[in-house]
A and B are shown apart, each in its own frame.
Chain A
Amino acid sequence: MWSDILRRGGYALLVILLVTIGVQALMALAPGSVAEVILGEAATPEAVAAMNAELGFDRPFFVQYFDWLFSALQGDLGTSPITHIPVTEAIMQRLPVTLELAVLALSIALLVAIPLAVLSATFPNSGLDRGINAVTSAFLSIPAFVAGPVLVFFFAVTMKTLPALGWTPIEEGLGPNLRGAILPALAVALTEIAAFHRVLRADLIGTLREDYVAAARAKGMTGTYVLFRHAFRPSSFSLLTISGLSLARLIGGTIIVEALFVLPGIGQLISSSIIQRDVVTVQGVVAFIAVGFVVINMLVDVGYGAIDPRVRRGPRARKAPVAAKARTTQGKAVSA
């Protein structure tokens, strides 16, 4: 197991290295330079060149990259030449908002999806199951930029129960904080529900066909008892996997709702620095998100073995091939 973790870790490091080089290359391709943005259009070419030299943007590509990489390894992602705020500080300031949104959205999605999946798996292919499937498919087709304004209309404009925009830090009370966070979280949670429902439903149906479930039923245990005490736990591993991937994705995916609800999170940092052409901040944030994504991905991959004893026992364990297959098919889709 340890060699496996090391191999995955090495691969993840390679991916991170390539991702950060990619970001740097993308930024280098951008027409115009940071100095031109700072000095404005009236600046003379000499002034622009002098400023670029001062900021170190005139050095060769890989010199700049390794310089950036070595400071980044020490936790310094550079300082924005436009706002003069260190990028690491800006990220840390905004990370709690985005993390809270992502965790809240994940919880909402799981709270809705798990009961629906249990219902579907108890009566597979019934009218109820097909109805639930249709509803979750509908949720899947409501992107955040559609759900957001519609939710605002019903809850903020018509019923006036929740605020339409703004963020209250959690220090000022959990109630006001949640009131501001619930609509944006709901808007991004909708599309996650379908995937959770389908994965858990398929796994539950599979588990309910196992011999030991039939044995438990034959002993006279009630359906509910068997469902929750015997079938639920072994069926929840794929769900855990895709929840982790979903969390990683949500951290980069709250841009829309942060713009719509005016929330001071990572997404807003990206969009504002992109509009200001703040190359240093964009590079830092994109690298941060990509690294977070890779790390969570890897933890999920490794954690899968840690959670499921049947996988941990070794490659010959009975469920391992199936688990591996589920993991790859889901990983492909979810991270896409």
Chain B
Amino acid sequence: MGKVHQRRIVNESKNKLAAKISEAANVLLPENSGYIIAEPGEKTTKISQTQLSNSVDVTSAKKHFDLKLDFGPYDIDYSLNGRQLLIGGRKGHVAAMDWITKHLMCEINVMEEVYDVKWLHNENLFSVAQKKWVYMYDNQGVEVHCLKNLNNVLHQEFLPYHFLLSTASEEGFLSWLDVSMGKLVTQFNAKMGRLSLMTQNSNNALICLGHTKGVVSMWSPNLREPVAKILCHGNMITSLAINSNGMYMATSGMDRSIKVWDIRRLKGPLQDYKVRTSPRSMVFSQTGCLAVAINNVVDVYEECCTKTIQHAYLRHNIARTINNLAFCPFEDVLGAGHDGGFSSLLIPGSGEPNFDALERNPFQTKKQRKEAEVKMLLEKIPAEMITLESTVDEVDINTFQTKLTARNSLQTVKPLKINIKVRNKIKKKTLANPSKIKEKILEEKTKEFVRALNARPKDEIDEGKSTRFGVLDRFKNKRNKKE
């Protein structure tokens, strides 16, 4: 048996064993996810938050609370481990707190409009998109940075594994900022108009934008045009959400529908729901619950991606217009930022019960946080690796084969035959043999031909032009269409 083959067999058996062990380890996971078991004939939709908080233990009941604040509408964000909450009121109120112990870390008034707030890699830093520029504050509320190259930002997303803060601005500029070095990775105009809707695909770190034409586009910092586009609705997209494993995307449009898409296929909606009014905000939880904010009501749907469901799992009326929703990671809690402040709602079964302490740890100590920060920085994935599909650990057979066939086809291509007539009689002096002259000319022509072949652009060799007509072709410029 060859050594390579032997090694492969060993590896295979090792992998199998590892899979087996990790499966067995699932039995040992300490926590189970939350649930509601309704009485027969009772609908869970009807269950109110007060009912819920009355029937759970004291500590859980405390997780349902309201903050009445006057600087709304509020934008909210939970830290990556779910312990800290950051709220930013449009009128300039920014507050960071440990929402479980209700310990206020800092509270500031930035004295200008706040559009978006976001925690960075841990609870020591957060960034606030203010009226003109993006500012970074530490957990004491001290202004650490003012990023003047990010102006008029409407939305921010933080990619924790890449240490990138990506922002979408009012003028249509998309930018990625490496927060570990403070360097702007790329910034360009998406040429899609005002970018008011943005979310990230946490599975491949692409930024998804929703546009007024009903298109959702996905962007990577390495390409100045969208990596993918889907025409989701006939009119403006009002909200956009992608689930935690990057499989499903939910979009809602002005046509009062919510559609669920399989992102990996980018083809026809899996589900198409009709709702009362078009939602303002949508968000997926870790377990796949979808929370939808319709005016002043939050609807939570369970397993709405794979199955067509009839009723909402839970419903809550906040009485103020909801601006922003966010599920708290590793907790059965949904946060809602609205005109009148912030509400924390209990949604049993929405949080991942068992966290991985080496990844995100809600019970992190200061020392662990420091260590984790170093580890995260060491493992920072370069921005160049953001693609639609990661193939780092796969053998790229397709590219190799196309290369090979292209090369082979080049070898078999024969130059065109050239008819050369050498005039035999050039007066009396015929210096060279006419056949030799012919040979020479032929050789020269062949060389020229080969040179021209090699100089061909690569795409031409790789693939012919596709003549397929897509749905999105109508958005192309007329000039491009002709090409």
A, B in one complex: no
What is the interface of chain A, defined by CB distance below 8 A to chain B? Answer: none
What is the interface of chain B, defined by CB distance below 8 A to chain A? Answer: none
